[in-house]
A and B are shown apart, each in its own frame.
Chain A
Amino acid sequence: MKRFNTILATVAALGLSAASAMAGPTEDLARSCNACHGLNGVSVGPSMPSIAGLPEKYLKNVLLQWKSGERYSATMGRHFTGYTDEELSKLATYFSKLPYVAVVQPADDKVIARGKEATERCETCHGATGGAPDDDETPKINGQWAQYLEMELMKYRTDSVKMPHKKMRGNAKKLADEDVAAVAKFYAAQPK
């Protein structure tokens, strides 16, 4: 190959700028989550949940439950069996500390009204609009992706897959078929 007439023949190692603080293993691992869950855990794909800013306890619970198989997942369990409990726990902490970004998805007024009516049983744990859950074990769901929420409800409504939360399962199953999408759209439309 020809030798190039380059401006710089020698790399002056002295001239390289020092990079900003190194990321560290948890952040490096977390970055691999971005491919599916969005930069800094804020998803731009409606079937994939945003995971930034969800309560730490909730994240820890679901990560470990997926790993053990206690909670059904279509895909995540196969990932988490590859990580130690400690790594998962640190990941949960990492994402819980990132800001929660509600992606407000407008919907037809009638659909939202119908959804609101059907969320009567959800309110006690998730709060009136999904943004102020009762405790640290309950996820925020305001401005979460409607499609994802609807698919989670489908899981809870399918008896033959394992879902750990009895109360949630019971209430999800009480929803009328026609209300499932409306409930998801109602929460997705809430800024707070």
Chain B
Amino acid sequence: MSFNRRDFIKTLASTSVVFPMVVRASPSAGKARVVVVGGGFGGATAAKYLKIADPGLDVTLVERNKQFVSCPLSNEVISGHGKYEGLLAGYEGLVKRGVRVIFDDALAVDPAGKAVKLKGGTTLGYDFLVLSPGIDFNFAAIEGYSEALANTTHPHAYKAGAQTLALKKQVESMKDGDVFLLSVPPGPFRCPPGPYERASQIASYFKHHGKSKCKILIADANDSFSKKGLFEQAWKMHYPGMIEWVAGASGGKVVKFDAKSNTASSDFNDFKGAVVNIIPPHHAGLIAMNTGLTNDKGWCTVDMLTMESTKQKDIFVVGDSTIHGDLPVYGAPKSAHMANTQAKVAVANILAKINGQPAPEPFFVNTCYSIAEKDWGFSVVHIYRAKDGKLVYDTKAGGISPVNLPDEAALKLQRKLESEYCIGWFKNIMADAFA
């Protein structure tokens, strides 16, 4: 028998039993309170879909920035193919849907007392908490690199914002023949194809701005990368000889940086560049770490089918902070698209819990587009299914865009279509989160 809480309350009302109920000081007494921390792709989507699923829910979103700056398409801003303004979103759309948006820093969570403490002094009680704080960086992993350098002379630009524009400026100041050095951290990092798309975009900038003698050196901590065949094909076709990739096994893993001489070093090599772009290793957003939700590698473990933390009840973690799925290294890619579907699954599960219903079947899907050059886009698709209580990556579905097609016309068509779908995807996923 399914007996939901509304029925229960009705039953209560019709009997004369007196229950020692805790008095709620909240004006919305009687409604389930859901607090969402982090208004990026995961958190904004969760807040919105909670309200769509049940407008009666009391939903509060805590986000430290008044304006969201999207990472997707930020590489295209660095190259000049896209506009910075296009990356921005506000929170008015969510406010209109009835989400209470608080611009503040969430400092800590008390899972036992079910409350979130904000920097401004407020404490928010919750029945369910959704955490989507994205990633934070482990600057200490690269000796000589620091947050202070990132904010001044050496932007990583791996959280979009002022650093995106700073890196763009540096690229534009490069002279023909200069080297752009890009250091890629060990996986998992957000957006597995992101660094290689960045290299492609910067190559495109060089090519179209009379700097064809510039070189891009990718010093990689890893031995392979996402959509490798597709990127290498694109590089050969559009930027022959311009991009060099040094695998981790060949000494590509940067562990040290000297800002004065612009030299990044692995245990075997010294790499120099006119511009050095170091992407530091990542871990889950600090608030998730401080709440004790992370494993020894710094990522939040979750119930694969519901997104509920394995460490704390009634806390759902979505987005880049999680380790989720059964693929090697990544589990599931840390992408805006994945964060979006994880948020929807978390919402469905919160609703099921409120209604006293069993966990619904989850659907996780990911599409990551990359644009390597104008009219030259490609993608990777991931489909995960629940099988026998486990989350399984469907190897028969998904995968990358075909590298080879029957002829040149088909190849050009495929790449053109996906470069345009990338933009359409972006508009829709931004709206799906913020509008």
Contact = CB atoms under 8 A, between A and B. Distances in A.
The binding surface of chain A is classed by DSSP as loop
A14 B414 CA distance: 55
B123 A7 contact: yes
Given A8-B25, A28-B361, A18 B409 contact: no
B166 interface: no
Given A15-B24, A48-B425, A78-B398, A154 B413 contact: yes
Contacts of A80: 397
> Considering residues B7, B291, B424, B427, which has the most beta carbons from chain A within 10 angstroms of its beta carbon?
B424
A11 interface: yes
A46 B348 CA distance: 29
A18 B4 contact: yes
Interface string B17-46: 001011011100111100000000000000
Nearest to B431: A44
A151 B420 contact: yes
A124 interface: no
A98 interface: no
B381 interface: yes
A14 B397 contact: no
A147 B427 CA distance: 14
A118 interface: no
Contacts of A83: 383, 397
15 contacts: A1-B108, A4-B117, A7-B24, A9-B22, A14-B5, A14-B8, A14-B19, A15-B24, A15-B29, A22-B355, A35-B367, A35-B428, A74-B413, A81-B396, A155-B417
Interface stretch (A127-135, A158-166, A184-192): A158-166
Contacts of B30: 15, 17
A8 B428 contact: no
A120 B383 CA distance: 42
Nearest to B111: A1
Contact of A48 (B127, B365, B428): B428
B96 interface: no
Contacts of A18: 4-7, 354-355
Interface string A76-87: 001111110000
A19 interface: yes
A22 B352 contact: yes
Contacts of B26: 7-8
A74 B421 contact: yes
Interface in A88-118: none
A82 B424 contact: no
Nearest to A33: B365
A29 B363 contact: yes
A31 B428 CA distance: 12
